[in-house]
Amino acid sequence: MTFASERQSLCEALHALSRSGLSPGSTGNASVRVEGGMLISPTGLACADIDASQLVFVNHRGEVPGKQLRPSSEWHMHLAIYRSTEKAGGIVHCHSRYATTLASLRKVIPAYHYMIAVGGGDNIRCADYATFGTEALARNILVALENRKACLMANHGQIAYDSTIEKALSLAIQLEDLAAGYYQAQTLGEPFILGEKEMAEVLEKFDTYGEQAGF
């Protein structure tokens, strides 16, 4: 039960998250689903400094067996997502600047750009506020993630999941870019928002061509 390849993938994703600039200081955490639970980054370490042996196994009951580092304080929300959907294989959470800016205003990101569909729907919701690391926050996130793979978190940041940790990281980076674009568009005026019919067409194309297609 060493999960060597999963440890390697998660470690590489954490280092890439650090290089992306989306996880300043010791903020940001990530996890991957493994048999019987998940591997998650430990609490209190900068993503760039974490090595594969320091990743923490948390079982599906939320227990940390044996002698390990303490898991990220935000492990509840990671485990809640894995429990809620089989589609989640990896999760990235961070306090990236623009996502956090919009989340501080508790804004939903509407379809000002068709790529909003990468989150799985025609907007990116903002989960209600609750104290970090609590089960209440995990519950709020599940509400915002209904039929979505990513959301903002009020007065906190963003969270994204996908079938693999690599895809989850890519989604978190795209969400930050979409948040920045929405912020910038609003400095010039009120962005035009794509309608339901237009976004339905985009979502259908995303379904048809899959995530590997170049948009």
Which residues are part of the catalytic machinery? 74
Q: Tell me if 90 sits within 8 A of 167, measured CB to CB.
A: yes
State both tokens at 157: 């940041």
d(CA 87, CA 206) in angstroms, rounded, equals 16
- Find out whether 123 and 205 touch, Cβ atoms under 8 Å: no
C-alpha to C-alpha distance for 156 and 146, rounded to whole angstroms: 19
Q: 91: closest CA among 107, 105, 68, 72?
A: 72
Strands 150-153 and 126-127, bridge-based pairing = parallel
Q: Which helix H or strand E contains 59, and what residues bound it?
A: strand 56-59
Contact assessment for residue 90 and residue 63, using Cβ atoms and an 8 Å cutoff:
no
The answer to whether residues 154 and 161 touch, using CB atoms and an 8 Å cutoff, is no
Backbone phi and psi for residue 92, each to the nearest 5 degrees, phi listed first:
-125, 135
